[in-house]
Amino acid sequence: MADTPDNSRDIANAQGRAPVSLREVKAWFVREVLPLESALIHFLHHNWRNQADIDDLLQEVYMRLIAGAQKEIPAQTKAFVFSTARNLLIDRVRREQVVPIEAVADLDALGVAIDEPGPDRNVMARDELRRVQAALDRLPPRAREALLLRRVDGLSRAEIAQRMGIGEGTVKEYLSESVCALADMLYGETEIARRRP
Amino acid sequence: MSDRKTPPAEFARADAASRLIDRQLSEGWKDEDETNLENWMDESLAHRVAYWRLEAAWEQTDRLAALRRPMRETPVQTAPARNWPFFARIAAAVVVVGALGAGAAFYAAEPAAKTYATEIGGRETITLRDGSQIELNTDSAVRVALSEKERKVWLDKGEVFFQVRHNAKRPFVVIASGHRIVDIGTKFTVRRVARGLSVAVTEGKVQLESSDGKAKPTTLVAGQVALADAKSVSIAKKPVEVLSTELKWRTGLIEFRYSTLAEAAKEFNRYNRNKLVIADPAAAKLTVVGTFGTNDVDAFVRLAKRVFGLRVVQHEDETVISR
């Protein structure tokens, strides 16, 4: 990783800042950004009319955050996350002329969420095990079984297939399904149910 | 949506899930697979973000091992429900999950166990009531369940040295990565590695079995090291002095005997949160000899600077060493 040059790093160097390693960016993303996901989705839902765009908007916010963090890890993650989201929505409105003006509820109000208190990390750490357990209980039974056989018993793909009487391809499907659903439940859950195809 | 190269979130996510599970399930993950994954992540930040997010969720399920059974202050003695052979009981427990679809039923199927764990850089010795000793190396976790009929230890992560008081009527069994190691009066080390485990016997002998009972059990004697994954077991002989070098961690030391700088850095990284990164292929091949404290990264960094004349750059969570 350290020896793959990229533009953002060159720019950072040119400005005399130390480049930020991908490893640091990843650690920051997992530790500080993912816990804000449900608040971020909430924010996007409330401020963007076309709900079918939410997943792509979220992806784009994350991409901008990562690109920014590669230059410098922001000191105020929460403010950075929500101002990035706000700027993205404003860019969209300006660029996509077809977007009706009421697509964005109120551009000036977009900053409001920034002042909400962030998640309390201590409480989160204490709750994590319970959250994982609760999320697990809501997985489809077969997907959950495959995940338990892998993560608790450490069985191989072939062993899981044999125990469950399914093909190895299906084992992979169950595990993919499990990890996607878990990520949504652990990070992206809001009171507004997310639509998944 | 914004730039033509960015895949829709739904695609990036499905692709990331597929790649993550391949990596987690692969029994022969190679450097080229890793390169492939890196290249895919370099293609678009959307890929990278989707992968990081799912990987973080996957890693959260690490905690599940702790849920297997209720935790108690003292291991309690629980008679097995029936006189079934051991793996029949395990198989029955797994069937319960399938039938009821309830994790809780599965966790309760094992006798109450006590969990012991160390953090990165930590080390701990536990003396069990039968006089056997368990020494946990850095970043390791075990669960111990003692019953009248047997003594069971699950190695959930890391590396552990066992000194077992032999008792033929009450076998001592270590369970890890789909394998069982049954003590036949001995001292041995078990370590979980990328896709399986390594078992090194320093005294006496042990029997290595697969949990499903399909593969033929293998007997390991002092001086033998077995590497076992889901499909195969390979056995090597190591001189006693090499084995004792590999056990220096028990006194808080790491000894390198003609290791490459890359291997040495990897070994240090097991013990320290600040990770050493050797960013230069030529530097990675330099040979290291010497004994260090497991947490004494500074001494190692001084060696890199003064003896090898390498460049060292400190970051928040890593130390990059290059020419």
For residues A4 and B16, the model is more confident at: B16
Full pLDDT tens readout for chain A, 197 residues? 444 444 444 444 444 456 788 889 999 999 999 989 988 998 888 888 778 888 999 999 999 999 999 999 999 999 999 999 988 988 887 776 544 444 444 444 444 444 344 444 444 545 667 778 888 888 888 998 899 888 877 788 888 999 899 999 999 999 999 999 999 988 886 544 444 43
Find the mean pLDDT for residues B304-313. 84
Is A145 in CB contact (< 8 Å) with chain B? Answer: yes
**Inter-chain CB proximity A187 and B231 less than 8 Å:** no
Task: Name chain B contacts of A171, Cβ cutoff 8 Å.
Answer: 25
Distance from CA of A114 to the nearest CA of B (A): 22
Look at residue B85 in the predicted model and tell me its pLDDT: 39
Look at residue B179 in the predicted model and tell me its pLDDT: 84
| Contacts of residue A93, Cβ cutoff 8 Å, sequence gap at least 6 | A99, A101, A103, A104, A107
Q: How far apart (Å, rounded) are the C-alpha atoms in residues A132 and A149? A: 16
Distance from CA of A109 to the nearest CA of B (A): 24
Distance from CA of A190 to the nearest CA of B (A): 17
**Inter-chain CB proximity B6 and A63 less than 8 Å:** yes
Cβ–Cβ pairs < 8 A, chains A and B: 158
The alpha carbon of residue B288 and the mean position of all alpha carbons in its chain are separated, in whole angstroms, by: 25
Q: Give the CA distances from residue B122 to residues A125, A132, B133, B161, B204, in Å, rounded to whole numbers and listed in that order.
A: 21, 26, 17, 14, 28
- Give the β-pairing of B224-229 and B196-210: antiparallel
With CA atoms as reference, the chain B residue closest to A149 would be B94
Q: B69 pLDDT exceeds 60?
A: no
Find the mean pLDDT for residues B164-179. 86
Choice among A8-17, B167-176, B301-310 with the minimum mean pLDDT: A8-17
For residues B211 and B267, the model is more confident at: B267
pTM for this predicted structure: 0.48
Choice among A68-77, A150-159, B34-43, B60-69 with the minimum mean pLDDT: B60-69
| Contacts of residue A65, Cβ cutoff 8 Å, sequence gap at least 6 | A29, A33, A80, A81, A84
Task: Name chain A contacts of B279, Cβ cutoff 8 Å.
Answer: 2-3
Of A27, A66, A172, the CB nearest to B25: A172
Q: B21 pLDDT exceeds 90?
A: yes
Q: How far apart (Å, rounded) are the C-alpha atoms in residues B157 and B62? A: 10
For residues B174 and B68, the model is more confident at: B174
**Inter-chain CB proximity B49 and A163 less than 8 Å:** no
Distance from CA of A138 to the nearest CA of B (A): 10
Look at residue B74 in the predicted model and tell me its pLDDT: 32
With CA atoms as reference, the chain B residue closest to A165 would be B98
Q: What is the pLDDT of residues B259-293, one digit of tens each?
A: 888 889 999 999 988 899 998 888 888 888 778 88
Look at residue B209 in the predicted model and tell me its pLDDT: 85
Q: How far apart (Å, rounded) are the C-alpha atoms in residues B278 and A143? A: 40
Of B45, B63, B94, the CB nearest to A128: B63
Tokens of B307: 């003896």
Q: How far apart (Å, rounded) are the C-alpha atoms in residues A121 and A190? A: 18
**Inter-chain CB proximity A62 and B49 less than 8 Å:** yes
Task: Name chain A contacts of B233, Cβ cutoff 8 Å.
Answer: none
Task: Name chain B contacts of A133, Cβ cutoff 8 Å.
Answer: 64, 67, 103
Cβ atoms < 10 Å from Cβ of A37: 21
Of A2, A156, A183, the CB nearest to B54: A183
Look at residue B84 in the predicted model and tell me its pLDDT: 36
Q: How far apart (Å, rounded) are the C-alpha atoms in residues A165 and A171? A: 10
Q: Where are the alpha helices (DSSP H) in B109-257?
A: 240-246
Is A164 in CB contact (< 8 Å) with chain B? Answer: yes
Look at residue A80 in the predicted model and tell me its pLDDT: 92
With CA atoms as reference, the chain A residue closest to B2 would be A60
Distance from CA of B298 to the nearest CA of A (A): 21
Which of A9, A26, A153, A160 should we substitute to test contact with B (largest number of B Cβ atoms within 10 Å)? A153
Mean pLDDT (chain B) is 78
Look at residue B292 in the predicted model and tell me its pLDDT: 82
Confidence of residue B95 (pLDDT cuts 50, 70, 90): very low
Confidence of residue B176 (pLDDT cuts 50, 70, 90): confident
Task: Name chain B contacts of A179, Cβ cutoff 8 Å.
Answer: 17, 20-21, 54, 57-58
